[in-house]
Amino acid sequence: MKTTSQNKIVSNQSFISQSKEWKEKGQKVVFTNGCFDLIHAGHIDYLEKAGNFGDKLVVGLNTDRSVLKLKGPGRPLSDQNARARILAALEFVDLVTLFDEDTPYKLIRQVVPDILVKGNDYAEEEIVGAKIVKENGGKVRTVPLVAGYSTSDFIKKIKEV
Protein backbone atom coordinates (compact mmCIF):
# COMPACT_ATOMS: atom_id res chain seq x y z
CA MET A 1 0.00 0.00 0.00
CA LYS A 2 1.29 3.46 -0.91
CA THR A 3 1.97 5.97 1.83
CA THR A 4 -0.54 8.78 1.54
CA SER A 5 0.30 12.36 2.37
CA GLN A 6 -2.04 12.21 5.38
CA ASN A 7 -0.03 9.30 6.83
CA LYS A 8 3.07 11.50 6.81
CA ILE A 9 1.45 14.14 9.06
CA VAL A 10 1.99 12.97 12.62
CA SER A 11 1.92 14.09 16.24
CA ASN A 12 5.12 15.40 17.81
CA GLN A 13 5.50 12.14 19.75
CA SER A 14 5.19 9.98 16.61
CA PHE A 15 7.55 12.34 14.77
CA ILE A 16 10.16 11.94 17.51
CA SER A 17 9.79 8.16 17.85
CA GLN A 18 9.82 7.52 14.07
CA SER A 19 12.91 9.72 13.65
CA LYS A 20 14.69 7.82 16.43
CA GLU A 21 13.67 4.48 14.88
CA TRP A 22 15.16 5.51 11.53
CA LYS A 23 18.35 6.66 13.24
CA GLU A 24 18.64 3.33 15.09
CA LYS A 25 18.44 1.59 11.69
CA GLY A 26 21.41 3.67 10.51
CA GLN A 27 19.42 6.06 8.34
CA LYS A 28 20.46 9.71 8.36
CA VAL A 29 17.60 11.93 9.54
CA VAL A 30 17.52 15.47 8.15
CA PHE A 31 15.44 18.08 9.97
CA THR A 32 14.23 21.42 8.68
CA ASN A 33 11.41 23.72 9.63
CA GLY A 34 9.44 26.71 8.51
CA CYS A 35 6.08 28.34 7.87
CA PHE A 36 5.79 27.21 4.22
CA ASP A 37 2.84 29.55 3.87
CA LEU A 38 2.63 29.76 0.10
CA ILE A 39 4.56 26.90 -1.47
CA HIS A 40 6.64 28.09 -4.43
CA ALA A 41 9.59 26.91 -6.51
CA GLY A 42 12.04 28.27 -3.93
CA HIS A 43 10.52 26.03 -1.25
CA ILE A 44 10.58 23.00 -3.54
CA ASP A 45 14.25 23.57 -4.40
CA TYR A 46 15.13 24.09 -0.73
CA LEU A 47 13.29 21.00 0.53
CA GLU A 48 14.60 18.77 -2.24
CA LYS A 49 18.19 19.85 -1.55
CA ALA A 50 17.68 19.43 2.20
CA GLY A 51 16.40 15.90 1.65
CA ASN A 52 19.48 15.05 -0.39
CA PHE A 53 21.68 15.47 2.71
CA GLY A 54 20.35 12.24 4.22
CA ASP A 55 17.92 9.35 4.03
CA LYS A 56 14.81 10.80 5.68
CA LEU A 57 13.60 14.40 5.58
CA VAL A 58 11.46 15.43 8.54
CA VAL A 59 9.81 18.85 8.62
CA GLY A 60 8.66 20.89 11.60
CA LEU A 61 5.83 23.19 10.50
CA ASN A 62 4.83 26.33 12.39
CA THR A 63 1.21 26.31 13.55
CA ASP A 64 -1.14 29.08 12.45
CA ARG A 65 -0.67 30.79 15.81
CA SER A 66 3.12 30.82 15.55
CA VAL A 67 3.04 32.03 11.91
CA LEU A 68 0.80 34.93 12.92
CA LYS A 69 3.19 35.78 15.74
CA LEU A 70 6.26 35.60 13.45
CA LYS A 71 4.85 37.13 10.27
CA GLY A 72 2.09 39.43 11.51
CA PRO A 73 -1.54 40.12 10.59
CA GLY A 74 -2.90 38.40 7.50
CA ARG A 75 -0.59 35.44 7.84
CA PRO A 76 -0.70 32.58 7.34
CA LEU A 77 -2.44 32.63 3.99
CA SER A 78 -3.16 28.90 4.22
CA ASP A 79 -4.15 27.15 7.42
CA GLN A 80 -1.81 24.68 9.11
CA ASN A 81 -3.70 21.60 7.89
CA ALA A 82 -3.48 22.70 4.25
CA ARG A 83 0.20 23.60 4.59
CA ALA A 84 0.97 20.26 6.24
CA ARG A 85 -0.92 18.36 3.53
CA ILE A 86 0.97 20.12 0.74
CA LEU A 87 4.36 19.44 2.36
CA ALA A 88 3.47 15.80 3.03
CA ALA A 89 2.50 15.32 -0.62
CA LEU A 90 6.07 16.02 -1.70
CA GLU A 91 7.87 12.76 -2.42
CA PHE A 92 11.10 13.91 -0.76
CA VAL A 93 9.36 14.79 2.55
CA ASP A 94 9.06 11.78 4.85
CA LEU A 95 7.30 13.25 7.92
CA VAL A 96 5.64 16.51 8.93
CA THR A 97 4.65 17.67 12.39
CA LEU A 98 3.31 20.94 13.74
CA PHE A 99 4.96 22.97 16.47
CA ASP A 100 3.34 25.85 18.29
CA GLU A 101 6.41 27.43 19.87
CA ASP A 102 8.25 30.39 18.35
CA THR A 103 11.13 28.11 17.37
CA PRO A 104 11.55 24.35 16.83
CA TYR A 105 14.14 24.13 19.62
CA LYS A 106 12.17 21.65 21.73
CA LEU A 107 11.50 19.42 18.72
CA ILE A 108 15.14 19.50 17.60
CA ARG A 109 16.28 18.70 21.15
CA GLN A 110 14.02 15.65 21.19
CA VAL A 111 14.76 14.39 17.66
CA VAL A 112 18.49 15.26 17.63
CA PRO A 113 18.68 14.92 13.84
CA ASP A 114 21.85 13.85 12.07
CA ILE A 115 21.62 16.92 9.87
CA LEU A 116 19.91 20.25 10.54
CA VAL A 117 19.16 22.39 7.47
CA LYS A 118 18.15 26.01 7.00
CA GLY A 119 18.42 28.48 4.14
CA ASN A 120 21.65 30.36 3.64
CA ASP A 121 19.94 33.54 4.79
CA TYR A 122 20.92 32.25 8.26
CA ALA A 123 24.45 32.14 9.62
CA GLU A 124 25.18 28.82 11.34
CA GLU A 125 25.39 30.47 14.77
CA GLU A 126 21.86 31.86 14.25
CA ILE A 127 20.29 28.48 13.48
CA VAL A 128 18.12 27.29 16.34
CA GLY A 129 19.26 23.87 17.54
CA ALA A 130 22.64 23.95 15.78
CA LYS A 131 24.56 23.55 19.02
CA ILE A 132 22.53 20.49 20.08
CA VAL A 133 23.00 18.80 16.72
CA LYS A 134 26.75 19.46 16.60
CA GLU A 135 27.29 18.39 20.23
CA ASN A 136 25.71 15.05 19.32
CA GLY A 137 27.92 14.45 16.27
CA GLY A 138 25.51 15.86 13.71
CA LYS A 139 26.02 18.50 11.04
CA VAL A 140 24.42 21.82 10.23
CA ARG A 141 23.97 22.67 6.56
CA THR A 142 22.62 25.66 4.71
CA VAL A 143 20.99 25.63 1.30
CA PRO A 144 21.29 28.55 -1.13
CA LEU A 145 17.94 30.22 -1.63
CA VAL A 146 16.59 30.61 -5.15
CA ALA A 147 16.71 34.28 -6.12
CA GLY A 148 13.36 35.90 -6.82
CA TYR A 149 11.30 33.51 -4.71
CA SER A 150 10.00 34.89 -1.44
CA THR A 151 6.52 34.46 0.00
CA SER A 152 6.55 38.05 1.26
CA ASP A 153 7.53 39.31 -2.21
CA PHE A 154 4.74 37.24 -3.80
CA ILE A 155 2.22 38.71 -1.39
CA LYS A 156 3.38 42.25 -2.27
CA LYS A 157 3.13 41.47 -5.97
CA ILE A 158 -0.39 40.05 -5.61
CA LYS A 159 -1.52 43.14 -3.68
CA GLU A 160 -0.23 45.36 -6.49
CA VAL A 161 -2.35 43.61 -9.12
The predicted structure's pLDDT at residue 151: 78
- Cβ 57 vs Cβ 87: under 8 Å: no
Which residues touch 89 (CB under 8 Å, ≥6 apart)? 5
pTM: 0.93
Q: What is the pLDDT along the chain (161 residues), one digit of tens a residue?
A: 456 678 999 999 999 999 999 999 999 999 999 999 989 999 999 999 999 999 999 999 999 999 999 999 989 999 999 999 999 999 999 999 999 999 999 999 999 999 999 999 999 999 999 999 999 999 999 999 888 888 777 878 888 87
Q: Tally the domains of the chain.
A: 1
Pairing of strands 29-34, 56-62: parallel
| CATH code of the domain in which 57 resides | 3.40.50.620
pLDDT at 2: 54
What are the b/e assignments for 70-97, b being 16+ CB within 10 Å? ebeeebbbbebeebbbbbbebeebbbbb
Q: State CA 101 to chain mean position distance.
A: 14
> Which amino acid is located at 72 in the chain?
G
From CA 131, how far away is CA 148, in angstroms rounded? 31
Which residue segment(s) compose the domain that 145 sits in?
5-160
Specify the pLDDT at position 158.
Answer: 82
Specify the 3-state DSSP secondary structure of 62.
Answer: strand
